[in-house]
Copies of this chain bind each other. A is one copy, B any other.
Amino acid sequence: MTDQHIASAFDRDLEEIQAHLMKMGGMVEDAIREGAKSLKRRDEELADTVRKNDKKIDALDLQIQEECARVLALRQPIASDLRTVLTVMKVAANLERIGDYAKNMAKRTTVLVHMPPIDGASGAIKRMAGEAQSMLTDALDAYIRRDADLAHDVRQRDLEIDQMYNALFREFLTFMMEDPRNISSCMHLHFIAKNIERMGDHVTSIADQVIYLVTGEMPDEARPKGNAPNYEIPSSSETGAKG
């Protein structure tokens, strides 16, 4: 938009809204990173900050939804302009949801710091969260650059998150089997892992929106799916296997 010499009123409005969307994206990226960091460091204060910041993310979502509604009413965009505004609304809704999952991670952290730590779990979760955050960065980049290839790439990477989740799921089961005192903390950790996996789904949904915006068509299939998680309790011989 910025390289157009004569910008229409619609373009100016859109640019402002998109700036808010990118600001929101940055806040959500921070929430993922800080949420995982608070878990890793058992830092209740940081977890508290993440929880508080989610209110700001929600407020920004509401603001963006209202700005979009206003643009629809005032500028009455059609064709690709209309599609762009609707995409912004959907991307903001996805970001809001990802922010919720990050808040939830922080919420469970404040509980987990009072429980005995589970070997290696918070590090594995931090890596998983790191991957989700980097996917989000790229998905927002793909949106701004209208880069369908990058969006396709993001979709593919969701497989990795799914695989990381499946590996963790098996590990938590093993820990719980080994010692019932691990059950409570493993349930929380499992939920955190599941929520990061869901973040991946929402990032994928943003990537889908970008592809739709650029090509006019949704990606061929529903997003690629990794192997279904192995729902059986691992036998002791498999305990060391990562998935």
Cβ B176 vs Cβ A180 within 8 A: yes
User: Complex: how many Å from CA A80 to CA B219?
Assistant: 33
Is residue A233 contacting chain B, with contact meaning CB distance below 8 A? yes
Is residue A190 contacting chain B, with contact meaning CB distance below 8 A? yes
Q: With A69-B83, A82-B73, A86-B69 as given contacts, are A183 and B111 in contact (CB-CB < 8 Å)?
A: no
Given contacts A173-B187, A176-B176, list 19 more A-B pairs with CB under 8 A.
Answer: A62-B218, A69-B82, A72-B72, A73-B78, A73-B79, A76-B76, A86-B89, A90-B93, A93-B93, A111-B231, A173-B183, A173-B184, A176-B183, A180-B180, A183-B183, A184-B231, A187-B190, A188-B231, A191-B194
Please, could you name 30 A-B residue pairs with CB atoms under 8 Å apart, sorted by A?
A58-B222, A62-B218, A65-B86, A69-B82, A69-B83, A69-B86, A72-B72, A72-B82, A72-B86, A73-B79, A76-B76, A86-B89, A89-B89, A90-B93, A93-B93, A111-B231, A173-B183, A176-B176, A176-B180, A176-B183, A177-B180, A177-B183, A180-B180, A181-B233, A183-B183, A184-B232, A184-B233, A187-B187, A187-B190, A191-B194
